[in-house]
Structure 1
């Protein structure tokens, strides 16, 4: 049974089971959240809600609490009675954290602390890890900072470095790379711009916190009609070419053909 990822991943609080069906209908992949979205006094009832639900294990994962908390073992024990095969491990900091996860579970490692970002490459190499995600606000908190963005809305340099590090680490080990949530829920233009950059940079998917953000993410990851036309024509022209060749005024080599194939691949999803 293969887990299907993205492009739009939607977080849903585990203690709000009345929202489960809506989230699954709205998004490509749903992350049922036992960590930050659930207050400490509601975690037990949230676990019970997860156990009572019937999830499609190819489209739903559960974010569990960090391994350094007592809640982690309780989360894992609760999932043992469910069909869930994939977890998102909050605040993953090393391969030692992954070693605490039962071997039958796939892991999306959430690298959202300084240690997690620094160790992202070794985390990505672990065989249980199927993808990496990063988080801006937890990262800044782990550094003792107060805000991940400048006044103009752009990420601070340290955050941009972390984003790039996680993307490169995932890519180096052919694992999925998930871009962080865009916290300004009503700012669809800002989300679209950030998703467009994620797509162009090589991210596999983008996570979000509101169903209204899903269409924006899907739109960014879906290539335009012109992009599909250009990629199709380029690959057709390459069939009779030997080595590098010119196409629509540009010099084309194998790497440009790879870009075109990726555009068509995104168009099929």
Structure 2
């Protein structure tokens, strides 16, 4: 079960000076051995992971794609650590997850056309606890140029992939993690995107800069009125049988599940 979030902050694994600060400023840190690290620095980044003195319960390590040589080296380094929550970059084939033993919990990063297409199969794997999607690698895998329009909104292909991964995760009772907002200074856009994420059913949102953390937290944090409503409707449900009317609205089990979700984020 994935319990981290809602704000997951990426941190390059070749910058150990940032590890503790990133963890302090976020709900969990993603120590990145993949895209954030140049090929020449990957060996040192792995040693940094091994030497890291941070709480393993709040650390995710992103490893390289399973079809790369770096993946095997990443697994060897991980075996020398206490880190057991791993994000697998460019997840496409769930059989690749068999490389991890039962002590690991995996976040499948579905960020290619094949990965999004197979997200349902990936979500079924017993090691998978969460699915995340990625926009830019997805569009690149399709031969495209950009995941967003000039106004910052996602193109249809990105919106499709986002929904596909969310539904695949939900169908298996796994957590879905929303993609990063690359425009660091666009906090209004990030806030709107994060608000849509929580309303749609995502359990967390990844980010690339500490200044983005609070916007994500605020979006996932229910307002006091929503919390008050959730508590009241659940109390009312205890005295009812089946569908009932509450504050002018029909209430059935899906509405009660929504109320429980609100309290779960409170």
Superposed CA deviations along residues 110-163 of structure 1, whole A, max 9, x for unmatched, are: 000000001001101000111100000000000000000112211111111110
Cα deviation for residue 100 of structure 1 reads 2.9
Q: Give the secondary structure class of the aligned counterpart of 2:166.
A: helix
Q: Does 1:218 align with 2:217?
A: yes
Superposed CA deviations along residues 170-220 of structure 1, whole A, max 9, x for unmatched, are: 111111110000111111111010000000100010000001111111111
Alpha-carbon distance in structure 2 between the residues aligned to 1:250 and 1:105? 44
Q: Give the secondary structure class of the aligned counterpart of 1:260.
A: helix
Alpha-carbon distance in structure 1 between the residues aligned to 2:52 and 2:2? 18
Matched residue, 1:137: 136
Alpha-carbon distance in structure 1 between the residues aligned to 2:251 and 2:105? 39
Matched residue, 2:54: 55
Superposed CA deviations along residues 58-110 of structure 1, whole A, max 9, x for unmatched, are: 11011000011111111111111111111100000011221233443221100
Q: What TM-score does the superposition give when structure 1 sets the normalisation length?
A: 0.96
Any stretches of 5+ residues in structure 2 without a counterpart?
none
Any stretches of 5+ residues in structure 1 without a counterpart?
none
Matched residue, 1:154: 153
Contact residue 19 and residue 54 of structure 2 kept, 8 A:
no
Residues 55 and 70 of structure 1, relative CA distance in 2, 3 Å threshold = same
Equivalenced residue count is 266
Select between 124-133 and 149-158 the one with higher mean Cα deviation: 149-158
Contact residue 3 and residue 59 of structure 1 kept, 8 A:
no
Alpha-carbon distance in structure 2 between the residues aligned to 1:4 and 1:239? 28
Contact residue 4 and residue 59 of structure 1 kept, 8 A:
no
Cα deviation for residue 237 of structure 1 reads 1.8
Q: Does 1:28 align with 2:2?
A: no
Contact residue 135 and residue 158 of structure 2 kept, 8 A:
yes
Matched residue, 2:65: 66
Matched residue, 2:192: 193
Alpha-carbon distance in structure 2 between the residues aligned to 1:144 and 1:68? 20
Alpha-carbon distance in structure 2 between the residues aligned to 1:256 and 1:212? 34
Alpha-carbon distance in structure 1 between the residues aligned to 2:240 and 2:71? 56
Matched residue, 1:164: 163
Matched residue, 1:10: 9
Matched residue, 2:82: 83
Contact residue 148 and residue 159 of structure 1 kept, 8 A:
yes
Poorly superposed stretches of 4+, deviation over 6 Å: none
Alpha-carbon distance in structure 2 between the residues aligned to 1:56 and 1:125? 29
Cα deviation for residue 242 of structure 1 reads 2.0
Alpha-carbon distance in structure 1 between the residues aligned to 2:160 and 2:227? 31
Matched residue, 2:115: 116
